[in-house]
Structures are given as C-alpha cells and as structure tokens.
Amino acid sequence: MDPRPIGVFDSGLGGLTALRELRRLLPGEELIYFGDTGRVPYGGKGREIIQHYARQDVAFLRSFDPKAIIIACGTVSANALTELSAENDLPIFGVVGPAAQAAAGATRSGKVGVIATAASIRSGAYEREIARLDPSLTVFPQACPLFVPLVENGRFRPGDQVVELVAEEYLAPLRHAGVDTLVLGCTHYPLLRDVVGKVMGGNVTLIDTGAACAAAAVQCLEEQGLLARRETGSCRYFVSDSPQDFARLAGIFLGEEAQGSVERIEIEKY
C-alpha cells in the first residue's frame, strides 16, 4: 500500500479524458493533474521542444513526490516516453503501448488505422509498437491537426457539418484501406467517437488511448502493491495559464464539473 499521489499531465486539458477514466477505476487515489495550458498545443511542435516541455512537466509533478506519473498526452507519449522513463526512477506510463496492444488484440483484418497529432504521427511510435507486437499487421497513420481546435471550440457532435466534413476528409483514406480497428491517438478524440464512428462505419473498433493507458497503469500499480486503498480520493488541478477558461474546457473533457482546486503555476521555473 502506498498513500502517495499519482501525477497525471497533458499539454492542456484534453488529458482530463484519461483522468476521468483513472478516477472511475481508482476512486480512492489522490490525483495531481497538470495541464500545460500556457504552451498548448504540443502536437504541431518538434520533438526537442516536446521533450523539453515534458521534462519540465515531470519535474513539476515530482515536487509532490508521486508514486507514478501518467502521461495522458498522445504527443508526449509518442515523443518522450523513452527519455522520461530513463531519466526518472519512478514508473511512468504513456498511452502508446497500451493502445497498440488493444489495437493488435482487436483487429481481425490485420489493418489498423491510427489518427493523432502531426507530431505523434511523425514520431512513428505507433507503427513501431504495433510491429513489435505483431509484425504481420499493417498500420495506416493519419495526422488530423484540425481536430484539436474543433473539439476545443465545442465542434465535436454528430450533425455538425464542419467537423463531419473535416472527419470525412481525414478518414477517407483509412476507410478505403479497409482498416477494421482505429486508434484514437489523442486526448481530444474520445469526444469525436460518434463522428468518427459515423464516418468509419459501425464495424470498425475504436480504441480510446487514455482509457487503455489508465487500465494498464492501474493493473501495474496493483501488481506492485502501490495502490492507496482509501475509501475516498481527491484531485488537485494545476495549469500554466490563467485558470479562467478551466471550468468550460474541463466540463467538456470530464463530462461533468471539475471538483477540486485549480491553481496556476510558473512551469518555466521547473
């Protein structure tokens, strides 16, 4: 048993989709969430900048002496997990491995699509991980840079012509390739599940990376005897820009009002 908190971070507030799943699975844990709202988005940035930001995000969370850190961000997981794990002596979980495993287990046709930010797709992390698990599978990667701003502006519901048009354009090559499994490789994409499902058709399995990561982390912490086993947990939120817009965006990603304090920090100091 370990009463210390679990740190969770993302480039912004999209990682709350993973936090939500974590809270559902581990209601007794103390969770510390950091969203780098002052520097979001990471998805269009280069690998070195992403790694630099991610090191600062981890350094901030380490000031709480966490027992583990979960990278809710697809872009950081794809570009910095190896480095962060090598540099830190605590378990760090990313979304790529668990999502690749879920996709490899789900596909029947052997054709797996991956949609994510430009930086995640450019990293090739999903292709490498899926090939490692099963070299016979073919991966069809597709960057979808317009999805994040659309979701953040509330444009993610079926029937919204703008998001449906964009989704149609991004997903057409994957549909034509005949993928039967699609990894939603970005924090924001669980909100697009209905739109993506409508474009891809009901026979395509959609993999939620945040949920896959949360489940894998919980299993690992349980095996290592690191869970807190409290009745009631808590959550504290930290951001690097004004907390003003926090409530609106947190509501979108959590699906409910965020409970717990929200504080601004100077991430450049870490």
State the catalytic residues.
Answer: 73, 186
Considering only residues 105 to 124 of the shown chain, the ones binding ligand DGL according to CB under 6 A are: 117, 120
Residue whose CB is less far from ligand DGL, 10 or 30: 10
Considering only residues 40 to 59 of the shown chain, the ones binding ligand DGL according to CB under 6 A are: 40-43
Q: Note whether 148 binds ligand DGL by CB under 6 A.
A: yes
Stretch that binds ligand DGL, among 11-19, 170-178, 211-219, 254-262 (CB under 6 A): 11-19
Residue whose CB is less far from ligand DGL, 77 or 205: 77
Q: Note whether 66 binds ligand DGL by CB under 6 A.
A: no
Q: Note whether 35 binds ligand DGL by CB under 6 A.
A: no
Residue whose CB is less far from ligand DGL, 19 or 228: 19
Q: Note whether 73 binds ligand DGL by CB under 6 A.
A: yes
Q: Evaluate whether 35 touches 61 at the Cβ level (below 8 Å).
A: no
Stretch that binds ligand DGL, among 104-112, 173-181, 186-194, 231-239 (CB under 6 A): 186-194
Q: Contacting ligand DGL (CB under 6 A), which of 75, 107, 181, 240?
A: 75
Q: How far is the CB of 191 from ligand DGL (least distance, A)?
A: 12
Q: Which residues bind ligand DGL (CB under 6 A)?
A: 10-12, 14, 40-43, 73-75, 117, 120, 148, 186-188
